[in-house]
Amino acid sequence: MKLNEDEIINAICFHVAERKQIRPEQVEAQLAWDEDHGYSCEVFAEGRSQYYVEANMLEAIERYLLKKYDQRVFRSQIQLDIEEEMVAYIRS
């Protein structure tokens, strides 16, 4: 299974919204990758900015897959990668 960049952003927005008890539409996320910090994203919600590191992103993807696809996966099964955009490969 492969999640595209939009689905990764949706996963993060749903995760943040659930934690902050707001609607997902009230959350924005911008994905990033650099050699020093690896995968990360900046999240904007309730007028505040917060940075998520790769572990936070993987947690959001885990929860998204469980809720949207009814698939229980573990972080060790998720591999982030950069193609033309950021993607997440889910191994069975």
Total of domains in the chain: 1
Q: How far apart are CA 47 and CA 62, in angstroms?
A: 26
Read off the pLDDT of residues 5-55 as tens digits, 9 standing for 90 and up. Answer: 999 999 999 999 999 999 999 999 999 999 888 999 999 999 999 999 999
**Beta partners for residue 45, in sequence order:** 27, 48
Asked whether 16 and 6 are in contact (CB, 8 A), the reply is: no
**86 confidence band (pLDDT: 50, 70, 90):** very high
Asked whether 9 and 64 are in contact (CB, 8 A), the reply is: no
Q: What is the pLDDT of residue 36?
A: 87
Domain with 16, as residue range(s), is 2-90
Q: What is the pTM of this model?
A: 0.93
Q: What is the pLDDT of residue 37?
A: 86
Gap between the terminal Cα atoms of the chain: 8
Q: What is the pLDDT of residue 33?
A: 94
